[in-house]
Structure 1
Amino acid sequence: MKFARNPTPRQRLLKALTLALVVLATVMSPAVLANESKKATFSNTTTLQTILTSSHRSEQNRLRDKYRHPAQTLKFFGLRSNMTVVELWPGSGWYTEILAPFLAAKGQLIVTSFAPSTSKPALAFQALLADHPEIFGKVKVSQINPPNEITLAPDNSVDMVVTFRNIHNWVKAGYAEQVYAAAYKALKPGGILGVEEHRAKPGISLEESIKTGYMSEDGVIAAVEKAGFKFVGKSEINANPKDTKDYPGGVWTLPPSLSQGQKDRQRFLAIGESDRMTLQFVKPKAS
């Protein structure tokens, strides 16, 4: 575009806008522009299946869907898009990436975080939430400091509490009962507790559970019922009959940890992730 030697105010404005566009095109490389066009967008009609295939999830996370069956697991728990949900001990945010966009439009996701925490996993999770406000902007963080400070949400305010492969850590730390009690207080009457956990062979001792990471299914059910919950049912969605549960490094021998390094790596990859119980409980309604 050519401009006169003595441009009018309008021509000067057009020239300035043209220069700005040139600078913007120079600064934003094709790769950046491509990434901008690929940003995930969600609405109140977004399905779990759409979220699972979304570009905001890494290929590494998507590869684990065949072991973790997230859509089937969340449907078994009874998840709905208008619920208020607490995710206990979210770890690296594998399930948070799914729950946050699903609940963003009509529901609410609350995640727990240790206060204060400077561990690498905690800092990485905090960075995940901060770096992607378009996905995690509505997520609330409940600061906890177990065993004494575990307030998840106001009493009787939550529709669902979920936990994925955390109970063995709570038992080892000695505060599983306090976590169950906190979940019970936060849930509305009729609210759901969804549990996924590594499943041991029947008859395992508590000492062996702590050592291997595998928990007794009957023991977990009994402990949660002791906290006041009613056991609703279980699913074999996350069962793995290939898991022999007798490895030198416990459950961490299997993917994704592969704690034995290259030793028998292909054998453990062929087994896949652990055999897991998937349980649903409810906080009884007042009679």
Structure 2
Amino acid sequence: MLLKPLRTALAVIAMTAPVATMAADASPTLEAVIAAPHRTPEFVARDVWRHPLETLRFFGVKPTDTVVEIWPGGGGWYTEILAPYLRERGRYVAAIQPVSLPQTDDYARRGAERFRAKLASNPAVYDRTEVAEFRPPERAASVPPGTADVVLTFRNVHNWMEGGYEAAAFEAFFAMLKPGGTLGLVEHRAAPGTSREQSIVSGYVTEAYIRALAYAAGFVLAGSSPVNNNPKDSKDYPEGVWTLPPVLRLKDKDRDKYLAIGESDRMTLKFVKPTH
């Protein structure tokens, strides 16, 4: 007589349990992690612009990989996907800004604190996340050399350009990776011919400049994907890329216009560290 209620209870538990409670010899699929209930609803709403499934598949991220994500941000958008995906058989290292350095501003310090609080809030998902520090040249080697299968960075190159250490950042990625390892990069794409100075102000970087940084560090281009392209983005806004969602720096001014454009046009590039 109790069999049917028991089955019902077990079904409810299975649907609501975190992805990370799977057997130790199993890993959730990317599809399962992306659909899991632990993800922040506001983040899920941005999947239409960030395409996490297609992006991570393009980069070739496997559940057995050691993955270093550079500057995941206080919200940890990709952390919500990568941490449970790699939890059972891989390794996820979140390389955040070092709060102890005087160069780290208050915004970055608050973001680092918020990120650590996020990890502590859900140990069933984030308990195996490793936190490292990254800000070259002072903390470029927080991740031991030759230990990563994949280094990922999303929309950060313009920040390193503002700090003047973008070349050092790419050199650090190259050092972190094993031979044959992958650097997966997404960045706001500037129109060809945009100067370095314009990129720092606008947040948009030319693909040619990023390729040059990668080649100078020793990487080889393995491919590019159109998955995060947005042809509606004209890249000529009064507050640069931050005019568009999700920031919407102009607030209510022309809000519907910018919402209709959507998030920025982004390059999605895959580089590889040669094996010899």
| TM-score, with length taken from structure 1 | 0.85
- Structure 1 position 82 matched with structure 2 position 60: no
Give the Å deviation of 1:232. Answer: 1.0
| Structure 2 residue 155 is the aligned partner of structure 1 residue 165 | yes
Please report the RMSD computed on the Cα atoms of aligned residues, expressed in angstroms.
Answer: 1.7
- Find the counterpart in structure 2 of residue 193 from structure 1: 183
Structure 1 residue 215 and structure 2 residue 205: aligned? yes
Report the residue type matching 1:218 in the other structure.
A
Verify the 8 A CA contact 2:27 2:89 in the aligned structure 1. no
CA distance in structure 2 between the aligned counterparts of 1:133 and 1:59, rounded to whole angstroms: 19
CA distance in 1, matches of 2:210, 2:134: 23
Distance apart, 1:41 and its partner CA = 2.9
Moved more, 215-224 or 146-155: 146-155
Give the direction of change, closer, same or farther, for the CA distance of 1:152–1:161 in structure 2 (3 Å limit): farther
Pairwise mapping of residues 24-43 of structure 1 onto structure 2 (< 5 A)? 38-42=16-20, 43=22
Could you tell me how far apart the structure 2 residues matched to 1:226 and 1:195 are? Answer: 16
Unaligned runs of 5+ in 1: 1-33
Matched, 1:141 2:131: yes
Q: Counterpart in 2 of 1:93?
A: 76
Secondary structure class of the residue paired with 1:147: coil
Q: Counterpart of 1:188 in structure 2: which amino acid?
A: K
2:7 is matched with which residue? none
Alignment of 1:122-133 (within 5 A): 122-133=112-123
- Aligned AA for 1:279? L
Q: What is the identity percentage for the equivalent residue pairs of Structure 1 and Structure 2?
A: 46
Shift of 1:52: 1.0
1:131 Cα deviation from its structure 2 partner: 1.2
Q: Does 2:143 match 1:153?
A: yes
From 20, 24, 45, the equivalent of 1:63 is 45
**Gapped runs of 5+ residues in structure 2?**
1-11, 101-105
SS in 1 for 2:19: coil
Structure whose alpha-carbon radius of gyration is higher:
1
**1:146, 1:220 → 2: CA distance?**
17
Maintained 8 Å contact 2:140/2:169: yes
User: Equivalents in 2 of 1:135, 1:188: separation in Å?
Assistant: 27
Q: Report Cα offsets for 1:17-58 as digits up to 9, x if no partner.
A: xxxxxxxxxxxxxxxxx99x8342333231111111111011
Which residue is 1:105 aligned to? 88
Taking the aligned partners of 2:40 and 2:147, their CA distance within structure 1 comes to 33
Deviations 1:40-82 (A, max 9, x none): 2333231111111111011111000000000100000011000
In structure 1, give the amino acid aligned to 2:182: I
Q: Distance in 1 between matches of 2:40 and 2:120?
A: 17
Shift of 1:114: 2.4
1:226 aligns with 216
Q: Distance in 2 between matches of 1:182 and 1:207?
A: 23
* Displacement after TM superposition at 1:160 (Å): 0.4
For the structure 1 residues 152 and 232, does the alpha-carbon distance in structure 2 shift closer, same or farther, using more than 3 Å as the test? farther
Question: Which position in structure 2 is the counterpart of 1:25?
Answer: none
Which residue pairs with 2:5 in the alignment?
none
CA contact (8 A) 1:39 1:56 kept: no
Residue type matched to 2:163 in 1?
A: A
Question: If the length of structure 2 is used for normalisation, what is the TM-score?
Answer: 0.88
**Deviation of the 1:108 alpha carbon:** 0.1
Aligned mates of 1:212, 1:222 — CA distance in 2: 20
Assess if the C-alpha contact under 8 Å between 1:152 and 1:182 holds in 2: no
* Cα distance in 2 between the residues matched to 1:205 and 1:145: 24
